[in-house]
Amino acid sequence: MSDLHTISLIPQFPLRRVGEELERLRASAPLVHCLTNEVVQSITANVLLALGASPAMIVAEAEVADFASMADALLINVGTLYPARLAVMQAAVVAANAADTPWVLDPVAAGVLAYRTDALHVLMQQKPAAIRGNASEIMCLAGEFASGKGVDSTAQSASAIAAAKRLAQQTGAIVVVTGEVDYVSDGEVTWAVPWGHVLMTYVVGTGCALSAVVAAFVAGASDRLAAVAAACAVMAIAGERAESACDGPGTFLPAFLDALYIMQPAMLKAADE
């Protein structure tokens, strides 16, 4: 789909802007309502806390509507979807939209199983502020046939750039396709976020936590495209730094959370100059 020539034309999101967006997030300390899967709740909360945001996992149908106007952003992640939790997610999305609270969709395993794929096709039409997935997931939501296993992850994220643009145009969301390089598009402008480390794929929940971080950055953002690209960049840069301070995926996670916590906006802003 996208060839190497096209990819090379996609500009890299500037570090200066990452620093500005991180500074904004730290100042606002957004409250992020996470409706996420059973496996990644702890890492998701710890990533948000380390970064300077405030996580809240509220799951009762009787509470999500009230909470939508308190939270600064909402995350919907369908990893371990089942009917009762899906009903809560749908209620939360309706309430978030009514309260003008931006929400982010993480379409885990879209296209793999019919139940969630159907649910995701409904959710994606309900005005998410951002959608964050891997190449297969984004291609599925954009209506493309997603190729299966065995594809190199760089090729994968690049192969979904056209799908990401189209999905952004269809839904009005900022769309992120993650891989060795992340691509972030609003349907017109597309940024590349090239940092990160493969070790992140050996720690469960780094992708899911990124979606929560996207929600944290989207909260109160005046430039959502930049906010989402900054979210990807912050996680990728922390991943690179953690990799240099660890011996494997076990020691990676503590080092990664430390790297998020100590990341300085001023250093990022100075890095481009």
- Answer for which of 12, 69, 125, 251 binds its own copies (CB under 8 A) is 251
Write each residue from 85 to 114 as x if it is in contact with its own copies (CB under 8 A), else as -, in one continuous string. Answer: ---x--------------------x--xxx
CB 239 within 8 A of CB 203: no
Q: Burial level of 109, CB count in 10 A (0-12/13-18/19+)?
A: middle
Rounded-to-integer distance, Cα 172 and Cα 257, Å = 32
Binding to its own copies in span 187-206, by CB under 8 A: 201-205
- Answer for which of 3, 4, 11, 38 binds its own copies (CB under 8 A) is 38
CB nearer its own copies, residue 115 or residue 272: 115
- Answer for which of 73, 257, 265, 269 binds its own copies (CB under 8 A) is 257
254 touching its own copies, by CB under 8 A:
yes
39 touching its own copies, by CB under 8 A:
yes
CB 125 within 8 A of CB 94: no
Question: Known binder of ligand: residue 70?
Answer: no
Residue 153: HSE in the Cβ half-sphere, 13 Å Cα cutoff: 15
59 touching its own copies, by CB under 8 A:
yes
CB nearer its own copies, residue 90 or residue 169: 90
CB 131 within 8 A of CB 171: yes
Eight-state DSSP code of residue 198 = G
CB 218 within 8 A of CB 25: no
Binding-site ranges for its own copies (CB under 8 A): 37-43, 45-46, 49-50, 55-63, 66-67, 70, 79-84, 88, 109, 112-116, 201-205, 246-251, 253-262
